[in-house]
A and B are shown apart, each in its own frame.
Chain A
Amino acid sequence: MESILITSADAVWINAARLAEELESALGVRVAIRAEHERGILKQASISRADGLPLTDGQAAAARGVVAVHDPARPSAAEQTAREREAKLAAAQIRLAQADLDDLRRQVVEADSVEALREAALKLADMMMDMLAVR
């Protein structure tokens, strides 16, 4: 069959990105999903093979099995990466907002040893990395 259709009778709601990962893992093929939700309830979703080939009966049955145990609250790998990136960005923004540039400048100017200069340079490097992260 070309694709399978699922409704709220199969799953109240789905995380299409996460479900696509679960299906790819179970079926061994990349799948395409189109889904619509209305007020948090799945209206309809279609699941097909991303390469355009039809799903075999076995794949369709396996896909329905995956849908039945799908946990939409779990983020997909891409969503997890995006969340981690957002968290890193927020942390960098906080560090930059709190950075004391005058103090850093003083540390460089008044460094009386290689070790002190090294420490100031490392702080500067960290700040540069934060700036690159948020640019």
Chain B
Amino acid sequence: MAWSTPSARTTGDLITAAIWNQDVVDNSRFLHDRVRELWIPWTAYYGSGLSEGNVGDWRSVAVVNNSINHVVWFSFCVPSDFASLAGLHLLVAASTSTTYEYDVNTDYGASGETYNAHSGQAVNQTAALTANQYALLDLSGLVGSLSAGDFVGLNLSNSNGANAGTLHVLGLRLRYNRT
């Protein structure tokens, strides 16, 4: 349903059902049904030789593909108006064109649950990346039980792959449908 910019009405204007539905009902629906987005910057990183640096005007963590235990962490809370997941993607940019190998682990749950009430693991995933281009790694399949109010911890690490390359980790994007 597309947005229709309502016309200003004045006293005495006839408001038909069609006008009411377009201006009020359909537009309200449009506003409600838009997919919401939450941007989550990285919060911490750890690993021998792992460092943060600049990629253009971004501040990134440079995870080296064939290194050992380079880990970048994210954490966030799922908004209270979350109804269903529309997508969870990690934004990265590779320093060289390569097939990058990575692992992702996540634990999440609500207050009162154990920290790993739900967990997702992705091991030895691959992504064909082009140098210096933004790329989104799809992590949606790891958080199938996500609910409003869940607290989420997630980390990305290199999986000691064979291909040389550096992955600039930029941030995480949650897209969701509202209640």
Contact = CB atoms under 8 A, between A and B. Distances in A.
A34 interface: yes
Contacts of B123: 16-17, 19-20, 31-34
Nearest to B160: A78
A36 B144 contact: yes
Interface residues on B, range: 20 to 34
Contact of A33 (B71, B101, B122): B122
Contact of B122 (A30, A34, A37, A51): A34
B95 to A, nearest CB: 21
B142 interface: yes
B69 A16 contact: no
The binding surface of chain A is classed by DSSP as mixed
Contacts of B77: none
Contacts of B157: 78
Contacts of B114: 39
Contacts of B160: 78
A85 interface: yes
A70 interface: no
A25 B48 CA distance: 26
A78 B118 contact: no
Contacts of B124: 20, 30-33, 50
Contacts of A64: none
Contacts of B117: 38-39
Given A34-B141, A78-B160, A81-B69, A52 B126 contact: yes
Interface in A43-98: 43, 50-52, 78, 81-82, 85
Interface of B: 48, 68-69, 71, 101, 103, 114, 116-126, 141-142, 144-145, 157, 159-160
